[in-house]
Structure 1
Amino acid sequence: MRKIRKRMVTVCIVITAGLLLLAGRLADLQLFNTEHFGRHHINLIEESVQQRTQSVLINNGRGSMLDRNGTSLSGGDEPSLVLFPFIRGLDWPGKEISRITGMSEGILISLVSRADEPLILAKKDGAELTPNDLDQINSLKFPGIYGVMVQTSSAERPAPHLTGFTAEMPEVMKTRYPEKKLPVNTKIGASGLQKAFDEFLLPESETRLLYHVDGNGNPLFGVNVKYIADSSSHYPVQIKTTIDEENQRVMEEILSSSPIQKGGAVLLDIQSNGILAMASKPELDPNGDGSGMKNYMLESMKPGSVFKIVTAAAAIESGLDHPSARYNCDLNPYGAPEEDRQLGTLDFDKSFSRSCNYTYNILSNELIKKDPDYLEKTAANLGLLEPAGWSGPVFHYSLFKQLPEEKGGTVWKDERDKGSKKAVAQAAIGQKDVQATPLAIANMMASIARGGEKMTVKAVEEILYKNGTVMYRFPDQEQPGPSIDRYTVQKLQKLLRLVVEDEKGTGSKFRSLPFLTAGKSGTAETGKKDVSGQNLINKWFAGYFPSDNPKYALVVLDADTVASRASANQVFYDLAAAIGSGS
């Protein structure tokens, strides 16, 4: 009897403890942590309301991006018909809706009869609507039928690598905005300008149509549909970029039809130094294997002979550009016979236009005797070592970067290599440890075209309030540090023109363009091979046009390719022809 009583007491204690734990759990859910439950800080009140409602998201409240002319780069608002499922139990005006939308009444009835949640019908569904059609739909004043402008996001939006994308990242959001109370499913900037300007773009509130339902999906409180929206005239903001949508589309189309698999192109407006177009390959795919996530226009790469601009500038400033000097260009960079490329004896100018490597062996080893740091000093003066993107104080940011993913450039990794003639010769032609981003090279070209004026590159011109007034305008900004002298710039301009004008120059192809062009080619050995054992190279062409009245600086990179299919020159030609002819 005593054992039975002891067991009963034990069972009662266990049951009581369980009830207390359950009561504590319920108290935690309903009293203490209802607005920030669990590690993701879920708002249980909001979630319970959502379970009892059906809604249509009209606009997520996140700020948008515009091109330089005010055209949306992130979709837009599309005239749409919204049909709530509960109308199937009512005598709704199907014939009128059919007449306005151009959709079959039978199809409309079928869609509504099978719907479990509100339907949004737009152009892709066969509903050809205009803003005037929306007024006609709403004039019917039938509950559950609405004509609204619904936010859209194009799957083929322009400049995806530059503008970036958003994603649900609760842990990142918590770390990035520890003081903000944002819904756990809020999308935040994951890359590009979406990430850089994320705090400005964060949604203040969503715009929705919603109604409450019972367990069977039938409306509670009659058929009262509510329109929930923020009436602010200031938010969400708009980020006005420097992108020209037409030039961007042209660039993407030409790159897509080219053999380039890795690399891309960047186009700058020389006067404003804004990015008019930027595209990277492989294409951006946040759900892929990660190969397309990098924007190669912001990545440091071996520049090859494009870097001869730096060595030539140093030689000019040191007085080594003697008109009478001659170089044996049948020799390779190290002075041995060149088997594949016989150029003969050339002067300083022709050595540049025809890209003679041996000349730069001689020049670089003379220069480094005068100044062991000449190469990195000149590269810095031409803006190749520091990130080129705009940075500076903006509101509470002491150093806001428009392009925070941009890398810097390098010349030497080991100072001891300056004592090796071969290493010096390699660095002088953009090999060894030399690296620069396509954006920095485009910026160098723009600076030379402007007469030597160094500026940072802008991807965004203004942050605008919802009503179009300016929240912040990014000023033009000089790139810090000294620059090359005026005479050197003029001589470089002449050399870059000669690359095209010389019938044997590496850019002679561009003589057939309907305007004058200046530039420099580059071929860099990467030290890698493809699956068939062929050497992989980085093939470049960087330049500006028209060279007599410069408007555009353009760089094209075909990275990790084989020589037989390298297409940087052809893509540069096609882009220049399309963009220059339309200006």
Structure 2
Amino acid sequence: MQLERRLKRRHFLVLLGMTLVWIGLIARLWWIQLGAPHRFTKRGIDLVKNAVKQRQQSIMLHSGRGDIRDRNGYAFTGEEHRALILFPLARGSLEGTDGMARVAEVVSQPKERLAEIMEKAKAPLFLRKDDGRLVVLTERQAEQINALAIPGIVALAVTERYRQEEVAKHVIGFINQNPDLVQSLYPDEWESGKMNADSMIGASGLERSFDRFLQGVEPSILSYYVDGQGKPLRGLDIRYSKQDNEYYPLSLTTTLDVSIQRSMERIADEVGLKQGSIVVLDAQTGDVRSMVSRPIYDQTKVDLTTDYWKNRAAKQLPPGSIFKTVVAAAALAEGVVLPTDRFTCTGEYGKYHFSCWKKEGHGSVTMEEAYAQSCNIAFAQIANRVGGEKLEEYARRLGLSEQVGHVTSHLFKLDGFKQVDGEERGAIFSQGVSRQDEGVLIQTAIGQRDVRVTPLQAANMVVSILRGGQPLQVRLVHEINYRNGQAFYQFPMQTLPVQGIDYVTANKLRKMMRKVVTDGTGLALSGAPWEVAGKTGTAQTGGDNQSLNHLWFIGYAPFDQPRYAICVVAENQQSWGKNQATEMFRRAVDELADQTTQSSQPHAGNSPE
């Protein structure tokens, strides 16, 4: 009797266990098929979408993101054209027909080329030229293509996010798929299913810093469906999902001027700049008019194993002798040196193996002359009078220790919203280094050792001097706009949260920068169409190759009524040969003067071309 009860109990437990397993399996199947078919696993895999991939292909006709424009409305992103769209799934339907030949005739392309493209394609594509550019169709051609009613071949308006020939690529940045980043930045959207592993988000530049505003609406997608035999599904072969909203997506109005941007990029390429940057700021507002970075990269095929896509204008480098501007500011403001005080340069400091670039020395020079001639020995002596703490203080006052890009304290639940993506801070002394160490101090005085400055900071320092000593925050975006053009949010001009320098000191620095061009190391710029002022800089790279230098030139023009503050940097240059930095600065001033003259003429055109 007792044995029988035990057997019944065991049988009951076995049945219960099997029942629970079946319930678990049924619940799992229900969850997969009905409960979460669009959001399965932590990676956001869409089972429904994956299930139909073998019989459906889709191509994006518009990303749904807002455009990024220059200050006058020119769009760096989102140019619409009519294009020929080919779906490889339609290959079976084309066999034994003259459909491809008829299409080739309309678009003036060899039928063999179209057939080869269709045969090799694994995913839907737009017809492109050999150089990668879109084959743009006329309205008449598009009508003829669609009238043929060939399965899987259609002509529609396409908006490509990026153009190969476009400028400001480092400023604009790029978008890509990054599920981990999507989940981190948009947890609510991830949980609700509005965003998933296939979502495109900003990865660099303005695309990243303003991603939440540019996201806008769902992308416009064209899909093509076939049955199990590869034949078009009747009534469902082509589907087009398009979003239409009066207010979204939002767009950005930047402070960039596309005409200036094109000119500066052309200058960089003509001079042969391999690595470096050009920054042009408005002398009164500190707004970015142009920001160039080299090497160039392709926004549609970004190689993340390189750093070509990074904006070098926002990356720190040893500044060399342009840092003597900070030393001069500290000395003048603190009253430890007068512009007419004299120093003796024999070419050698006498210790620390510290020497002047001019081996025979500059002899007896005033502070003004030492700045113009970029005398290392004189500035080592001046730095000793100033002291390390004051050097660090005045570097901070001139914005060289801060991120200078525009920051909004609170913008729609975003605290400390920064416009400039990837901007580095800059540094004067490494942590733990003594400010009283003379060897450290004199190397710091000439912009070497631990000193690091970004080209954007350097250009902004020039603006600070021109404005009487108070640094501004640099704006890259002036306004966020609704789709209908109305303002969504405007970014005001803002000063950096630092004390700045006094007006008298700033005025003395302006005169000293002019002397660099009239009587010093910038003499090659004396023939420019505008009178210019500035400071040269040569910094050792600190790498294995001691013959390589970073060449700098910072300055402004015109001298009497400044319009632009400019910083150019040619990185990793040989110590011999033509100075690329000075050459680019000269050409930049020539171009800016020419554009200003043209724009001031009656009835002058304002075309960005």
TM-score, structure 2 length as denominator? 0.83
Q: 1:177 aligns with which of 186, 195, 212?
A: 186
Matched, 1:449 2:462: no
Alignment match, 1:431: 448
Give me the CA root mean square deviation: 3.4
Q: Tell me the distance in 2 between the aligned counterparts of 1:535 and 1:314.
A: 31
Cα-to-partner distance string for 1:348-393 (whole Å, 9 max, x where unaligned): 211111111222222222223xxx6211221122111111100012
Q: Would the alpha carbon gap of residues 186 and 40 (structure 1) be closer, same or farther in structure 2, given more than 3 Å must change?
A: same
Shift of the 442–412 alpha-carbon distance from structure 1 to 2, 3 Å rule, reads same
Give, in whole Å, the separation in 1 of the partners of 2:381 and 2:120: 79
Residues in 2 aligned to 1:415 and 1:479: alpha-carbon distance in whole angstroms = 26
Residues 224-233 or 320-329, more deviating = 320-329
Give the Cα separation in 1 of the matches to 2:119 and 2:462. Answer: 62
User: Percent of aligned positions with the same letter in both sequences?
Assistant: 34
Superimposed CA distance per residue, residues 328-361 of structure 1 (whole angstroms, 9 cap, x where no aligned partner): 1224355777572422211121111111122222
Match of 1:350 in 2: 369
* Runs of 5+ consecutive residues of structure 1 not aligned to the other structure: 1-11
**Is residue 171–residue 205 contact of structure 2 (8 Å, CA) maintained in 1?**
yes
Match of 1:545 in 2: 557
CA distance in 2, matches of 1:178, 1:126: 37
2:327 aligned residue (307, 311, 331): 311
Pair 1:377 & 2:399 matched? no
Query: Secondary structure, in 3 states, of the residue corresponding to 1:418?
Result: coil
Out of 501, 512, 528, the residue aligned to residue 484 of structure 1 is: 501
SS state at 1:161 partner? helix
Q: Secondary structure at the match of 1:582?
A: helix
In the alignment, which residue of structure 2 is the partner of 1:366? 385
State how 1:118-133 maps to structure 2 within 5 Å: 120-121=126-127, 128-131=136-139
Deviation at 1:506, TM superposition (A): 0.8
Aligned equivalents of 1:432 and 1:112: distance in 2? 58
Letter in 1 for 2:514: R
Q: Distance in 2 between matches of 1:425 and 1:144?
A: 71
Partner SS, residue 559 of structure 1: strand
Deviation at 1:445, TM superposition (A): 0.8
Compute the displacement of 1:118 (Å): 5.7
Q: Map 1:42-441 to 2 at 5 A.
A: 42-82=45-85, 85=90, 88=94, 101-103=107-109, 120-121=126-127, 128-131=136-139, 134=142, 146-152=154-160, 153-180=162-189, 181=193, 182-222=195-235, 225-284=238-297, 286-287=302-303, 289-322=305-338, 324-333=340-349, 340-368=359-387, 373-392=389-408, 393-413=410-430, 417-441=434-458
Q: Is 280-289 or 424-433 further displaced after alignment?
A: 280-289
Pairing 1:516–2:531 present: yes
8 Å Cα contact 2:355/2:377 also seen in 1: no
1:3 aligned partner = none
Question: Does the aligned pair in 2 maintain the 1:334–1:361 contact within 8 Å?
Answer: no
Deviates more, 1:23-32 or 1:201-210: 23-32
Going from structure 1 to structure 2, the CA distance change for 1:514 and 1:36 (only over 3 Å counts) comes to same
Quick one: distance in 1 between partners of 2:55 and 2:104? 31
**Relative to 1, partners in 2 of residues 1:254 and 1:158: Cα closer, same or farther, differing over 3 Å?**
same
**Counterpart amino acid of 1:559?**
E
Instruction: State whether residues 266 and 277 of structure 1, in contact with CA within 8 Å, keep that contact through their aligned partners in structure 2.
Output: yes
Q: Which deviates more, 544-553 or 287-296?
A: 287-296
CA drift of 1:196 comes to: 0.8
The equivalent residue for 2:599 is none
Cα distance in 1 for partners of 2:100, 2:305 equals: 47
Letter in 1 for 2:481: L
SS at match of 2:474: coil
Q: More displaced, 375-384 or 268-277?
A: 268-277
Q: Aligned with 2:565: secondary structure? A: strand
Q: Distance in 1 between matches of 2:235 and 2:471?
A: 67
What is the SS of the residue equivalent to 2:170?
helix
Matching residue of 1:472: 489
The Cα shift of 1:537 comes to 2.6
Provide the C-alpha distance between the structure 2 equivalents of 1:223 and 1:306, rounded to a whole number of angstroms.
Answer: 66
Please state whether the residue corresponding to 2:187 is helix, strand or coil: coil
Which whole-Å deviations, capped at 9, do the CAs of 1:125-158 have from their partners, x for residues lacking one? Answer: 8955234654676688888665421022323432
TM-score by length of 1: 0.86
1:74-114 per-residue CA deviation (whole Å, 9 max, x = no partner) reads 35222213466387489999899677644568877897799
The answer on whether the counterparts of 1:267 and 1:552 sit within 8 Å (CA) in structure 2 is yes
Which amino acid in 2 is paired with 1:32?
G
Rounded to whole Å, the distance in 2 between the matches of 1:150 and 1:129 is 11
Which of 304-313 and 31-40 deviates more? 31-40
What CA distance in whole angstroms lies between the structure 2 residues aligned with 1:456 and 1:277? 16
Of 310-319 and 253-262, deviating more is 253-262
- CA distance in 2 between partners of 1:261 and 1:71 (Å): 27
Counterpart position of 1:560: 572
Please tell me whether the aligned partners of residues 389 and 403 of structure 1 are also in contact (alpha carbons under 8 angstroms).
yes
Letter in 1 for 2:68: M
Q: Distance in 2 between matches of 1:111 and 1:344?
A: 72
Which whole-Å CA distance do the structure 2 matches of 1:263 and 1:218 have between them? 54
Asked if the contact 2:347–2:359 (Cα under 8 Å) also holds between the matched residues in 1, the reply is no
Partner residue in 2 for 1:29: 32
Report the count of equivalent residues. Answer: 564
Residues 507, 87 of structure 1: alpha-carbon distance in 2 compared, 3 angstrom cutoff: same
1:236 to partner: Cα distance: 2.0
Q: Distance in 2 between matches of 1:108 and 1:251?
A: 39
State the Cα distance separating 1:261 from its structure 2 match: 3.6
Secondary structure of the 1:315 match is helix
Contact 1:242 1:274 (8 Å CA) reproduced:
yes
Could you give the per-residue CA deviations for residues 44-76 of structure 1, whole angstroms, max 9, x where no partner exists? Answer: 223334444343421121223222222222352
Q: Is the 8 A contact 2:182 2:196 kept in 1?
A: no
Give SS of 1:444's match: helix
Q: Secondary structure at the match of 1:538?
A: strand
Tell me: CA distance 1:125–1:422, structure 2 relative to 1, closer, same or farther (3 Å): closer
Q: Which amino acid aligns with 1:179?
A: D
- Please state how far the C-alpha of 1:438 moved relative to its aligned partner: 1.0
- Rounded to whole Å, the distance in 2 between the matches of 1:91 and 1:416 is 78
Helix, strand or coil: the match of 2:543? strand
* Structure 1 range deviating more: 379-388 or 125-134: 125-134
* Partner secondary structure for residue 199 of structure 1: helix
Q: Name 2:595's counterpart in structure 1.
A: 582
Moved more, 267-276 or 81-90: 81-90
Aligned-partner SS, 1:556: strand
Secondary structure at 1:226's aligned position in 2?
strand
1:506 aligns with 2:518: no
Q: Is the 8 A contact 1:102 1:127 kept in 2?
A: no
The 8 Å contact of residues 529 and 536 in structure 1, kept in 2 or not, is answered as no
